[in-house]
Amino acid sequence: MGTNEVVGHSEQRWDAIAKVKGQAQFTGDFPFKNLLYGKILRSTIAHGRVESYDISEAEKVPGVVKILLPEDLPQNKYSTAGHPWTLIPEKQDIRDRTILTRDVRVYGDDIGAVIAKSELAAIKALEKIKVTYKEYPVYITPQQAMADDARRIHEERDNVLASSKVGFGDVDKSMAEADYIIRENLSTSVQQHVHMENQIAVAYQDADQRWTCVSSTQIPHICRRIIAQAVGVSWSKIRVKKPFIGGGFGNKQDAVVEPLVVAMSMACNGQPVQLALTREESIAYTRTRHAIDYNFAIGVKKDGTITAIDCDVISNQGGYASHGHAIGGKGGTFINAIYKMDSLRYTAKTVYTNIATAGAMRAYGMPQVVFALETVMDDAADKIGMDPIDFRMMNRRPDGFYNAMSNVKQINFKVGECLEKGRKEFEWDKKMAASKQYKTGVKRRGLGVAAFSFGTAVYPFGLEVAGARLILMPDGCFKLMLGSTEIGQGADTALSQMAAEAIGVPFKNIIRDSFTDTDIDPYDTGAYASRQSYVTGFAVKEAAEKIKAKILTRAAKMYDVRTEYIDIIDGNIIYMPDGERLATLEDIAMSSYFDMKDGKTITAYSSVNIHQTTYASGCTLAEVEVDMETGRVKLLSIMNVHDSGKIINPLIANGQVEGGMAMSIGYGLSEGIRYSKEGRPLNNNLLDYKLPTTMDLPKLEHAFVETDDPLGPFGNKSLGENPTVSPAPAIRNAVKNAIGIGINTLPLSPENVYEHIQAQQKGDVQNV
Amino acid sequence: MGTNEVVGHSEQRWDAIAKVKGQAQFTGDFPFKNLLYGKILRSTIAHGRVESYDISEAEKVPGVVKILLPEDLPQNKYSTAGHPWTLIPEKQDIRDRTILTRDVRVYGDDIGAVIAKSELAAIKALEKIKVTYKEYPVYITPQQAMADDARRIHEERDNVLASSKVGFGDVDKSMAEADYIIRENLSTSVQQHVHMENQIAVAYQDADQRWTCVSSTQIPHICRRIIAQAVGVSWSKIRVKKPFIGGGFGNKQDAVVEPLVVAMSMACNGQPVQLALTREESIAYTRTRHAIDYNFAIGVKKDGTITAIDCDVISNQGGYASHGHAIGGKGGTFINAIYKMDSLRYTAKTVYTNIATAGAMRAYGMPQVVFALETVMDDAADKIGMDPIDFRMMNRRPDGFYNAMSNVKQINFKVGECLEKGRKEFEWDKKMAASKQYKTGVKRRGLGVAAFSFGTAVYPFGLEVAGARLILMPDGCFKLMLGSTEIGQGADTALSQMAAEAIGVPFKNIIRDSFTDTDIDPYDTGAYASRQSYVTGFAVKEAAEKIKAKILTRAAKMYDVRTEYIDIIDGNIIYMPDGERLATLEDIAMSSYFDMKDGKTITAYSSVNIHQTTYASGCTLAEVEVDMETGRVKLLSIMNVHDSGKIINPLIANGQVEGGMAMSIGYGLSEGIRYSKEGRPLNNNLLDYKLPTTMDLPKLEHAFVETDDPLGPFGNKSLGENPTVSPAPAIRNAVKNAIGIGINTLPLSPENVYEHIQAQQKGDVQNV
């Protein structure tokens, strides 16, 4: 009652027209008077210490305003990681960096900065700065960095920055009970986010002498805190404003440029300074997906029962801690979430090296662990001769499973339904049969599947708060204020639909802009962990219910009826006993603004702290054709099936799924930053970093097992990151199915596949 | 308890440093990409109709984007007057204009517009537009416009746009009981506000296809409504943003440029368009103080008793209604507020003419009626040979007088104390005695006094609503969001002091910016009627008390104490039984943001509807020296004394008083727009419009009779406009005291005074 069913409809994104017409303003679009341009002086070694700078020639470049060395800026140690703050010191992120540094830990480290009146002058000056270094050994891999004689990358801390062990049961005993133990080594690549809009921020001093940072950030409120910590001011002295954003995928969940640009403005008496990374800088010197090495074993009985899983993880952190161990350490819970086993052991280490700092990236560790799990699962199914879908079906956790490792009951957990729907809609059995004729010759075909479980938001691991404010306008529209972050994913449209639904008005009655401002917008930690439609959704729902109650109270008084007899339906106040319209919402709104006697404007605010989560799941099915002569993998067809509860906006959900699939296909087939042994990134551009284009992709098929999740604010659960989890392992398994070789290193580039084929033909690898 | 006494201290304006450093951004300071420039095509006659436009040559000017004629823009009738909206149709402002018009009613009327890529191109194009008119008779004075054969200036309405009659008793009978009847004709001039920053606005289409108008307006929320009415869209489709403002004085209480600039952007597909008036346009074609003619009579007995006051008012409205009759019609209440009398008759007419439209100007009709009242009062005192202060003292309304005309009990009404303090501090008696030796010769000296009463805000005549929002920041600071308008007067500083006081924190803990945004800031009608420190003060107080209660509730829970035992003092949570600090406010704030279990951010919102007012009062004492040969009046000394309740910030209050006095000195001695008989303004620039400079002013002395008004939110009542009421009549009375000639027309320019001296010497006028 009172609903006009806005949720579930493919409403057009509120910003669609603006983006087509060019009216959506991104950080770089805002004109500033007397804008200065900052550029970062980057180290040309990966490990060492700057011994001297010679800036004399650089200072002479016309237009140069300031050249900053590490000692010119605040020396506070901070972390760039965009986690919600915690009051528990041992849970706080590792503060292992200063804004600029003489201690070089990665190639391209921030060892200085130039501020000039033009970008060109800044670049010219950079070129004229002479730096001498003392060089240290470079560690590309965790194994190098963990060697006994390895030098500490951070003096105050071991190169193993964290280690952990979780699980249950007696793994050794359970392994002994297995008929087969499949143990494999796997490794994933250094993927880059490659968001359309590079990192960019502008900082200036405000009229009240505080500091504003306009930034393309996923986490305005968290960013405020990080900047304040880095520059050493009280937190409210910083104001972060977020305009439209051209994607982030987790890279903008780190405050990579913001502390420096604020410090630059501070060094220039508050004049506005812009710091915009180039594509090359963004690829090579920001954050990446952690490359993780797995030693992964599954004990399995002939009947398909899994007795034990034993997983040892070594995560390559790169030069700075950033999100650190949170990524490598989290996999155990999700292995337990999806499959049955008697015992589980999950040990993990996160290790500093001298490659680019790894941080948050869409699905936050899940693509790695699911690649490992689904690879070994698939090989186990092969070992006992079971259909890989059947094997997963028989071992899947049932709906309602209590996951003791996260203390969460997995209500409404539909991975089985996803596998079944996928098998049917992908025509798995028909395609599998058809592919049998392509197991010889140059072009070989095969099918693969991979499944996954996925959390929603960060509870119970972290704080989950969100806020929403609604303001009734005189004409019956509502301004919706949020601290959550629209980064291109459509969050603002989905959250506006939720507000409209909960109040009882058409979608067009909700006014939203995409400009988040930490001074005035409700506190919300931002865009990550597929949390916003869930956690912020609760805040929107609560604020909507509050403002609705206030409106109905006022209407009841105005029309002398009992509050419980009236409701808001499609923007009208309806007297429910006879269904007649008592008034329009505008009538109530106008009275609230302009009634001489008791005109008082109506607003509502909610701040929610969510102590629950809900597990989503899904799977990918893929068919590939492998060219035995070139190693090239052609993706013939692919389908994702998602168990994400209620789909708030099918159109936007489709976009999320297709984008996520493309990202995981790139992960599976082509992407990865390569490093020279000196730690220099070798493919820091869009020509050499092989991002799939639309030309490289088949039709991205997908389906939903749509449910009304009882734990979701509107029946929904996570979806934003989920699509990027399972395509890569499904492709890996399809390649194995095609050519009989299980490749355990990502990406399955032509080079990688070709080498495996060559090795097999030479007898160097064992056929599965 | 819980106060750190921020109110009453001379805190430095929060924007002081920014204004010195040039960081305060005014509307014209914001850079816009692809900004277009609008200019208004103005009529070169004062009354008539445009018969034809020839824009062919203008269109050829390079850079011209669009030439708009009246029929190109919406034809909705609207009023520019910045009154709070009312749901009662008969109380709504007269809607007598469209955005552009072919019907010319004033010289410089908006008959077309040019939009170009540069201001210069727009000006060149304007010069090339040829217009032919049908001309009508021009009416400069109400008397001309009221003539039987006068043509209607607005076809649908009589030239007398409103008339009214208020009062009590039998005036004719009371007059008959007087020993003397002093009846005089008086007339005031057309004063201009001459705010430092001219009218300027920029409009563009927002990402959500709504329309934003950045404007130097005193009334952002009202302006939103007026623009929507003018362009014909639903009200929430308009968003008004107000940056720093360089003064308004009531001129920016009319939406003079905003509807046109929004219509211009609409005509250019939403591209940003700026419309900035020149000084010449601002002086001649915006709003003015109404020139009002009075026929004013006082009946007085020999003992000083006033038997009756009979006042007939004819107010010159100019070409459009704007604030209309509200100004001329309001005087009766305030005559009754200040002096005793048996009977009062106050009749008023407001009449359209063909001079510039009169609107709101600082003190809104009071300078005119007080000039008339205090002139005639002074002449009555002379008539019966009483000291003018004694005469006012004996007739003043006592503290606690019930004013039946406004239904207000004048609690805490201290006009008598002001007169007494003024007499003493100005050394009235000593100076009066000393001046007696300067009653002959070329340079003659004299003293004058004038008193006044003044309302606070617009209740009971109009709606009084305001709102405030407070947001607790993680470090214990508070963001204060207001819909009220800082226009240079210091409102934001005073209101921030109130918030600090009511919460119990230092002034520096309150964060305020001056950027009002109708989408997000609480609804408040804006800066006028000396209302903000009063009405918005109540909103701030309520919001502060709400947020304080929430903080104390949280603190009590955290520290397991009873809420009533703790208080916030100077930013700390104090356990009152022993006065010890339990925690800092930051401790509570951090917990509210980051406590895993029940972290929820703390904000408070208030929307108040104020059903009360309180009467302020005051007086001016002045000494002048008149040059009998040139008519030049030199102001030797002047003092204002104000009864304005508690002074929130003495430093800012001093600024208000000095500025107001200067404005009234200009009103008394030099200012006034002159018109040719064709209705053409003759002095539309700062050379010919004689605004006093600091060189023209003596020391502006002032004093307060400070009280703690029980009806004020912080003991305060109106002050912003009050200082500009009584200086002009005090000067007029001083001139009379010096030269023995009562001059009843403003300004007392050398020309005016000289002519009166000449006429007296020829015997044309009667000595008082």
pLDDT for residue B765: 55
Task: Please choose, from the candidates B209, B296, B282, the residue with its C-alpha nearest in 3D space to the C-alpha of residue B248.
Answer: B282
pLDDT for residue B524: 97
Domains of chain A: 16-24+465-609 (3.30.365.10), 32-136+199-276 (3.90.1170.50), 291-459+612-761 (3.30.365.10)
Q: Which residue matches tokens 């609690």? A: B411
First to last CA, chain A: 58
With 70 as the cut, is the pLDDT of residue A668 above it? Answer: yes
| Inter-chain residue contact B86 with A512, CB threshold 8 Å | no
To the nearest whole Å, the CA of A448 is away from the closest chain B CA by 42
**Chain A residues in contact with B513 (beta carbon < 8 A):** 206-208, 519
| Inter-chain residue contact B593 with A85, CB threshold 8 Å | yes
Percent of chain A residues topping a pLDDT of 70: 99
To the nearest whole Å, the CA of A86 is away from the closest chain B CA by 6
To the nearest whole Å, the CA of A19 is away from the closest chain B CA by 8
A359, A467, A473, A610, A768 from A727: Cα distances, Å: 21, 34, 46, 31, 21
**Chain B residues in contact with A15 (beta carbon < 8 A):** 207-208
Beta strands in B549-706 (DSSP E): 566-569, 572-575, 580-584, 603-609, 616-627, 633-643, 700-704
To the nearest whole Å, the CA of B189 is away from the closest chain A CA by 35
Residues 621-660 of B with CB under 8 A from A: none
The partner residue sitting opposite A513, judged by closest CB among B207, B244, B474, is B207
With 50 as the cut, is the pLDDT of residue B2 above it? Answer: no
Q: What is the ipTM of this complex?
A: 0.96
Q: Which residue matches tokens 């987790």? A: A250
With 50 as the cut, is the pLDDT of residue B768 above it? Answer: no
The partner residue sitting opposite B473, judged by closest CB among A235, A474, A591, is A235
The partner residue sitting opposite A479, judged by closest CB among B21, B519, B595, is B519
With b meaning 16 or more CB within 10 Å and e meaning fewer, what string describes A498-517?
bbbbbbbbebebbbbbbbbb
Search chain A and give the residue with CA nearest B588: A87
Search chain A and give the residue with CA nearest B517: A520
pLDDT for residue B763: 77
Q: For B585-625, how does the pLDDT look when each residue is reduced to its tens digit (9 = 90+)?
A: 999 999 999 999 999 999 999 999 999 999 999 999 999 99
Cα–Cα distance measured from residue A620 to residue A702, given in angstroms and rounded to the nearest whole number: 9
**Chain B residues in contact with A25 (beta carbon < 8 A):** 207
Search chain A and give the residue with CA nearest B26: A207
**What are the residues facing B211 on neighbouring strands?**
B205, B238
Q: Tokens representing B633?
A: 């009046």
Search chain B and give the residue with CA nearest A210: B511
Cα–Cα distance measured from residue A602 to residue A557, given in angstroms and rounded to the nearest whole number: 15
To the nearest whole Å, the CA of B701 is away from the closest chain A CA by 31
Cα–Cα distance measured from residue B301 to residue B38, given in angstroms and rounded to the nearest whole number: 61
**Chain A residues in contact with B84 (beta carbon < 8 A):** 594
Using a 10 angstrom Cβ sphere, with 0-12 exposed, 13-18 middle and 19 or more buried, the burial of residue B326 is buried
Percent of chain B residues topping a pLDDT of 90: 97
pLDDT tier at A768, thresholds 50, 70, 90: very low
Q: For B137-174, how does the pLDDT look when each residue is reduced to its tens digit (9 = 90+)?
A: 999 999 999 999 999 999 999 999 999 999 999 999 99
Q: For A354-383, how does the pLDDT look when each residue is reduced to its tens digit (9 = 90+)?
A: 999 999 999 999 999 999 999 999 999 999
With 90 as the cut, is the pLDDT of residue A3 above it? Answer: no
A-B contacts at Cβ under 8 angstroms: 157
Q: Tokens representing B631?
A: 């008519």
The partner residue sitting opposite A594, judged by closest CB among B206, B463, B475, is B463
To the nearest whole Å, the CA of A576 is away from the closest chain B CA by 27
Collect all residues with Cβ–Cβ distance below 8 Å to A591 and sequence separation of at least 6: A554, A558, A599, B87
pLDDT for residue B523: 97
Q: For A449-507, how does the pLDDT look when each residue is reduced to its tens digit (9 = 90+)?
A: 999 999 999 998 899 999 999 999 999 999 999 999 999 999 999 999 999 999 999 99
Pick the residue of B13, B20, B35, B208 with the most A CBs within 10 A to test the interface with A by mutation: B208
To the nearest whole Å, the CA of B288 is away from the closest chain A CA by 28
Instruction: Give the DSSP letter of residue B718.
Output: -
With 80 as the cut, is the pLDDT of residue B566 above it? Answer: yes
To the nearest whole Å, the CA of A516 is away from the closest chain B CA by 12
pLDDT tier at A316, thresholds 50, 70, 90: very high
Q: For A529-572, how does the pLDDT look when each residue is reduced to its tens digit (9 = 90+)?
A: 999 999 999 999 999 999 999 999 999 999 999 999 999 999 99
Cis, peptide link before residue A747, omega less than 30° from 0:
yes
Cα–Cα distance measured from residue B85 to residue B95, given in angstroms and rounded to the nearest whole number: 13
**Chain A residues in contact with B520 (beta carbon < 8 A):** 471, 479, 481, 520
Mean pLDDT of A692-704: 96
- Check if B33 contacts A (Cβ < 8 Å): yes
The partner residue sitting opposite B594, judged by closest CB among A21, A86, A475, is A86
| Inter-chain residue contact B473 with A86, CB threshold 8 Å | no
pLDDT for residue B767: 46
**CA dihedral in degrees (A744, A750, A752, A757; nearest 10)?**
90
The partner residue sitting opposite B523, judged by closest CB among A86, A87, A593, is A593
Mean pLDDT of A196-225: 97
Q: For B452-481, how does the pLDDT look when each residue is reduced to its tens digit (9 = 90+)?
A: 999 999 998 899 999 999 999 999 999 999
pLDDT for residue A762: 87
Task: Please choose, from the candidates B570, B206, B441, B98, the residue with its C-alpha nearest in 3D space to the C-alpha of residue A515.
Answer: B206
| Inter-chain residue contact B523 with A235, CB threshold 8 Å | no
Mean pLDDT of A175-195: 98
Residues 250-269 of A with CB under 8 A from B: none
| Inter-chain residue contact A15 with B481, CB threshold 8 Å | no
To the nearest whole Å, the CA of A79 is away from the closest chain B CA by 17
pLDDT tier at A163, thresholds 50, 70, 90: very high
Residues 467-506 of B with CB under 8 A from A: 467, 471, 473-475, 477, 479, 481
The partner residue sitting opposite A511, judged by closest CB among B208, B605, B608, is B208
Cα–Cα distance measured from residue B290 to residue B317, given in angstroms and rounded to the nearest whole number: 6
Percent of chain A residues topping a pLDDT of 90: 97
Q: For A590-647, how does the pLDDT look when each residue is reduced to its tens digit (9 = 90+)?
A: 999 999 999 999 999 999 999 999 999 999 999 999 999 999 999 999 999 999 999 9
Cα–Cα distance measured from residue B114 to residue B72, given in angstroms and rounded to the nearest whole number: 12
To the nearest whole Å, the CA of A499 is away from the closest chain B CA by 17
| Inter-chain residue contact A270 with B21, CB threshold 8 Å | yes
Weakest-pLDDT range from A1-10, B85-94, B344-353: A1-10
- Check if A274 contacts B (Cβ < 8 Å): no
- Check if B461 contacts A (Cβ < 8 Å): no
| Inter-chain residue contact A236 with B609, CB threshold 8 Å | no
Cα–Cα distance measured from residue A732 to residue A743, given in angstroms and rounded to the nearest whole number: 7
Mean pLDDT of A181-187: 98
Pick the residue of B15, B225, B236 with the most A CBs within 10 A to test the interface with A by mutation: B236
The partner residue sitting opposite B208, judged by closest CB among A205, A481, A512, is A512
- Check if B35 contacts A (Cβ < 8 Å): no
Mean pLDDT of A270-280: 98
pLDDT tier at A767, thresholds 50, 70, 90: very low
pLDDT for residue B513: 86
| Inter-chain residue contact B87 with A595, CB threshold 8 Å | yes
To the nearest whole Å, the CA of A33 is away from the closest chain B CA by 7
Residues 585-614 of A with CB under 8 A from B: 590-591, 593-603, 605, 607-609, 611
With 50 as the cut, is the pLDDT of residue A1 above it? Answer: no
Using a 10 angstrom Cβ sphere, with 0-12 exposed, 13-18 middle and 19 or more buried, the burial of residue A250 is buried
Residue B593 host element (H or E) = helix B585-594
Q: What is the mean pLDDT of chain B?
A: 97
pLDDT for residue A228: 98
| Inter-chain residue contact B600 with A31, CB threshold 8 Å | no
Q: SS3 of A237, please?
A: helix
To the nearest whole Å, the CA of B358 is away from the closest chain A CA by 26
Task: Please choose, from the candidates A675, A746, A762, A692, the residue with its C-alpha nearest in 3D space to the C-alpha of residue A139.
Answer: A675
Cα–Cα distance measured from residue B413 to residue A229, given in angstroms and rounded to the nearest whole number: 53
Instruction: Return the axis-axis angle of helices A537-559 and A491-503, rounded to nearest 10°.
Output: 30
